[in-house]
């Protein structure tokens, strides 16, 4: 396995108007991110609509990411599903394609006790052929308690966690109780600099794919102990994050990609009305103005 560290994007998915994946644009988007400093690729996460896509499309996104990476950067893929068989299928396909790691959020809808979740993840880790990262994302799936995280961190083949709780106190405790070689990634872009200061390995976020030059610069600045620079960029991103989260997820973030010149925000597999889509695109100028403000505040040029 290639070492996972640094800035990863929670990749969004572009579509053609008929709802099929825009493969050419997805690859262009991945190539752009790598050229702007990303340390790897993360497909089939929440921002990529994974839980609204059929398994064939999820496998397609893995394949496209692999074509772009060309073994130069590592790839982690989400395998979360309440259809347990699909989780195993995705894990096996990732192994066959030569991806590097798997990310698993807890299965949702059917309520499982903490003991049942532990047994499920332990069993899965023993069967899959790639290193497994667990995913704490209370926004969409059952949250992981500190006690459960600590127990899971000691299981063979569970090598790390992506924490999207947004809870800095929990993240501090996670870093304190897990083994020293257990990878901790932050999933909330608002706290990238702080997470790195506490000892996190890197990030996996939507903003990482939309503004890779900003998130990569935070990572670089923190490693060089240029804390003022990292915090300046971190603060500049906040208005973009608020804008993105104020719209139906992940369409607010997709709109930034459209503002940057990519073919996004024209279709969603989620049940948004035509009126809602039309209203979203009326916000395009607002997204462009936020980008201009970020350029002025940081001195980072936004171009593709």
92-131: per-residue pLDDT in tens? 999 999 999 999 999 988 889 999 999 999 999 999 999 9
Q: In the prediction, which pLDDT does 219 show?
A: 98
- For residue 261, is it left (φ>0), alpha (ψ between -120 and 50) or beta? left
- pLDDT score at 3: 75
Q: Is 106 annotated as a binding residue?
A: no
Number of independent structural domains in the chain: 1
How far is Cα 237 from Cα 232, in angstroms, rounded to an integer? 9
Domain membership of residue 15 (yes or no) is yes
CB 3 within 8 A of CB 103: no
The domain that holds 40 is classified in CATH as 3.20.20.70
Q: How many residues does the chain have?
A: 304
**Residue 181 maps to a domain:** yes
* pLDDT at residue 146, as a whole number: 98
CA neighbours closer than 13 Å in the CB half-sphere of residue 28: 13
In a domain, 29, yes or no: yes
Report pLDDT digits (tens) over 60-71.
Answer: 999 999 999 999
Q: What is the mean pLDDT of residues 283-294?
A: 97
Q: Establish if 281 belongs to a structural domain.
A: no
Judge whether 115 lies within some domain: yes
> Has residue 242 been placed in a domain?
no
Domain that holds residue 117: 6-235
Q: Tell me if 95 sits within 8 A of 126, measured CB to CB.
A: no
Q: What is the pLDDT of residues 29-52, one digit of tens each?
A: 999 999 999 999 999 999 999 999
Average pLDDT over residues 158-163: 98
**Residue 2 pLDDT level (bands cut at 50, 70, 90):** low
Would 246 be classed as within a structural domain? no
Identify the residue with better confidence: 218 or 274. 218
- Is-contact 98 66, C-beta < 8 A? yes
pLDDT tens digits, one per residue of 255-284 = 999 999 999 999 999 999 889 898 898 999
- So what's the pLDDT on residue 1? 62
Question: Which of 42, 51, 34, 57 shows the shortest CA–CA distance to 10?
Answer: 42
The residues carrying an active-site annotation are: 135, 162
For residue 168, what is the enclosing H or E element?
helix 168-177
Helix (H) or strand (E) holding 162: strand 158-163
Query: Looking at residues 146-172, what average pLDDT do you find?
Result: 97
Angle between the 284-298 and 212-223 helix axes, to the nearest 10 degrees? 30
Residue 103 CA to residue 58 CA, distance in Å, equals 13
Distances (CA, A) of 57 to 54, 72, 182, 269, 300: 6, 24, 31, 12, 35
Helix (H) or strand (E) holding 207: helix 206-210
Residue 209 lies in a domain: yes
């Amino acid at each position: 396995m290639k070492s996972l560290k640094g800035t990863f994007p929670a990749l969004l998915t572009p579509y053609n108007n008929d709802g099929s994946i825009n493969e050419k644009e997805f690859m262009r988007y991945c190539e752009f991110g790598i050229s702007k400093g990303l340390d790897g690729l993360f497909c089939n996460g929440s921002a990529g609509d994974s839980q609204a896509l059929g398994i064939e499309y999820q496998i397609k996104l893995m394949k496209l990411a692999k074509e772009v990476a060309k073994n130069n950067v590592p790839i982690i893929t989400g395998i979360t599903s309440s259809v347990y068989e699909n989780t195993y299928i995705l894990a096996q396909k990732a192994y066959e394609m030569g991806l590097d790691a798997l990310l698993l959020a807890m299965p949702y809808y059917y309520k499982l006790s903490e003991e049942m979740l532990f047994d499920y993840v332990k069993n899965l880790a023993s069967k899959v052929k790639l290193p497994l990262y667990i995913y704490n994302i209370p926004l969409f799936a059952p949250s992981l308690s500190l006690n459960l995280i600590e127990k899971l961190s000691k299981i063979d083949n569970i090598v790390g966690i992506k924490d999207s709780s947004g809870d800095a106190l929990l993240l501090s405790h996670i870093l304190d109780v897990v083994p020293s070689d257990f990878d901790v990634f932050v999933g909330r872009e608002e706290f990238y600099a702080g997470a790195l200061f506490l000892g996190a390995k890197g990030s996996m976020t939507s903003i990482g794919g939309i503004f890779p030059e900003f998130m990569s610069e935070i990572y670089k600045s923190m490693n060089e102990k240029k804390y003022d620079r990292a915090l300046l960029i971190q603060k500049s991103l906040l208005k973009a994050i608020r804008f993105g989260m104020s719209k139906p997820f992940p369409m607010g973030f997709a709109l930034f990609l459209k503002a940057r010149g990519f073919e996004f925000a024209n279709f969603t597999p989620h049940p948004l009305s035509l009126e809602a889509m039309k209203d979203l695109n009326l916000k395009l100028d607002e997204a462009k103005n936020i980008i201009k403000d970020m350029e002025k505040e940081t001195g980072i040029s936004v171009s593709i």
